[in-house]
Structures are given as C-alpha cells and as structure tokens.
Amino acid sequence: MSDQVRQFTVQHDDDGVRLDRWFKRHLPQVGFATISRWARTGQIRVDGKRADPADRLAAGQVLRVPPGGAAPERKAAPRRELNEEQIERAEAMVLTQDRAAIVLNKPPGLATQGGTGTKEHVDGLLDAFASEGPRPRLVHRLDKDTSGVLLIARTPGSAAFFSKRFSGRSARKIYWALIVGVPSIEDGLIELPLAKQPGTGGEKMMVDESEHGQAARTRYRVVDRAGNRAAWVELQPLTGRTHQLRVHMAAIGHPIVGDGKYGGQDAFLTGSISRKMHLHARRLIIDHPDGAPLDVTAPLPEHFAASMAQLGFDEADGADLPEAPKVPEREAKKQAAKAHAKQYRKERRGERRGRKSGERGPAGKSTRTAAKPGARKPAGRGPAPKTPGKR
C-alpha cells in the first residue's frame, strides 16, 4: 500500500461510472467500507471537491485518493500458454486495434467461446493479446459457423462501455447472407418472437407467439437475385436473440444457404455452391470511448466469396442497409400521450351519451330538474377563480 496521496485522471472508458465502481475496476483491494470512510471524512476528492461513493465520474476529472489507495504489486493472472501457430492464428484475424478494442474477422467454424467438446475458440486465443495489462474480453458473440466482425474489449472499462452499447441497441450490426429463393417483399421487417425449443437443451430456437416468446425484429433488404434460385440479402438485427437471423429467414421460407439446422435439406443449393453456412457479420458501427465511432468492415470468407461469384453477384452492389427512421423519444412520448387523450375523450363521450339516454322518463321527457332563478350554480361549474401570483 502507498503511504502517499495519489491522483488519477478519469479516462474516457470510465466516463459516467460510479465512484465506488471506479475503485472496483482500478483499486480492487480497497474495500467499500474504506471507500465510504474516506468519502465521509472528505479524504476522497474529485476536482478538489468532496465526493460520495454513488457520485458518477466524468472523463477528465481528477480523483484524489488518500494514502493506502495505491494498487500493490500483484502477481499477474495465469495466462494460457499458446504455441506459435495459435498466436499466428489470433494475429491473422485482427482487422484493427487500439487501446480500447481489438476487432477481429472471425473465420467460419471457429467457436467464439468454449463449451463441451470445444477446445479451440476465440476466447482461448485472446491471451495472444495479453502480454501487458489486463486480459482482453468478449463483449458479444457470433455463432460458430457465422464469420465476420467480432469486437473484443481490451480493458474492464472499455468492456463495460461497449457492453452498454450492445445492450442498449445503439450498436449497428450489418450482416450479409445468401438465402434460398427470393422474398416477394424485397425490403421488409420481420417481427416474430423467439423462444428456446424444448428438448434441445437451449441449442435451438423457434418462433413462439405465445406469452413465452421474446420479441425479435430483423430488417432485411434484397441486394441482388440469381433468378428465383437464390438471393443476396443485407440483414440488420434490431434485437439480439440467439440465432435470430437464421430462425427469421427460415420462418419466412427463405433459409440461409448452408443452414441445415433451421432450413433442413431445403437450405442447400445444388451444383458447386458450398454447403457451409453463408452468413457473415459484414460491418459494425459502434460508439468508442475515445470519441469518434468505430466503423469496421470485414472481408468475406473464401467459400462465401466463391458462391457470390458463381451466382453472379458483385460485392460492389452491397450498399449499406439504410437506417430505419427514428422518432425522437420526446416526440414519441408526446404522440402516445395525444393518442391516449383522444381515446379517453372518445370513451367519455360514449359515457355521456349513455347517461343522457338513461335520464329520460317513461314518456320520453327529461327527468332533470331545472335550476330556479337566482339559485347558486353547483360547485365546480364555470371558470375557476384566479389565484394571485400564479401564471
């Protein structure tokens, strides 16, 4: 432990994080009770001011930590020993990297994470990038047979930053796929809820429109077609359910080429078209903790590029899928409030008509009693008296 006061500058990937969470990330040996005591006695300062453990930090602020708050020298966490071939394989996947992220082009057939019987996976190769500092970590996943852009966070702070963008749906993911047949609607939105298929151990999903299904939305656009045999589509998942793109395309009768799991034998084209799955995470656009968004495109794997050529498709035609128009949150709330008020007024008019019809006597005459001349109006009628001082 240090016996001197330390100062730390809050980095971009810690922007918005709680003070106690900052300690957990950077000085994990300092317990919450100690942090609370330091804050209570004014020993922790942010830009010279007293701070509370629940206060949120902003990038660029200077944090003063009293003696005892410096990280001690600790033994590095054990690393997985990789051979030269594994290190070369990991480095060959890199599309771009910086202090916050490593972006890989994951090849088809390589799992993102380990599991029963899965020894070779991306997560196991990340030690190739961990010679110094913390071990990089996954923040999202791709299916084993899906290729393309895979984002890896270098630090705990950037992992939290990127994870928040994925969970908040602000990250824009664009996929390319070859599908069997051609959809009758060439630019559409698939909205079919999904759930795990019983008896598959969670390894397979299905469309489930009961109360158990989770909402799932996929936007698609046909880029080109090979007669009625196959089509090249651009896909944008607006939600992040397991196997969402694969289930949705199979559900509308156009399975992804090579996806026997959801399309059965109908998912394979005759001739020399590869039987591998043709689903590729083509592009990722996501906010970056240092400011400018990260925008990365991954080239197609060999089998996908060969199939494109055989079907007569030109990669240059793959313009980005246009973003769906967004209604500002405030405007959306205003429209919802107006609709609710309109419905309420409509229901009230119906109630008033009902009361009027029920207030007629047997002879059809009104049963209301007319107010006598000079009588006071019932309370609540007429304009309300003005209150001095209110605007």
Residue pair 298/150 in contact by the 8 Å Cβ criterion = no
Picking from 265, 179, 261, the residue whose alpha carbon sits closest to that of residue 226 is 179
Tokens 């100690």 correspond to what residue? 34
Contact 180, 255 (CB under 8 A): yes
Query: DSSP string covering 246-288, please?
Result: HHHHHHTT-PBTT-HHHHGGGG--STT--SS--EEEEEEEEEE
Rounded-to-integer distance, Cα 215 and Cα 195, Å: 9
Backbone dihedral angles phi then psi of residue 303, each to the nearest 5 degrees: -65, -35
Rounded to whole angstroms, how far apart are CA atoms 64 and 75? 26
In the residue annotation, 143 being an active-site residue is answered as: yes
3-class DSSP state of 179 = strand
What gap in Å lies between CA 159 and CA 349, rounded to an integer?
Answer: 55
Contact between residue 152 and residue 136 where contact means Cβ atoms under 8 Å apart: yes
Phi, psi of 113 (to 5 degrees): -130, 165
Of the residues 13, 14, 127, 143, only one is catalytic, namely 143
Q: Which has the closest alpha carbon to 295: 279, 284, 305, 307?
A: 284
Among 249, 275, 244, 276, which residue's Cα sits nearest to residue 263? 249
Beta pairing class for 279-288 and 147-153:
parallel
Nearest alpha-carbon partner for 240 in 217, 207, 210: 217
- The CA distance from 267 to 250, in Å, is 9
Name the residues annotated as catalytic: 143
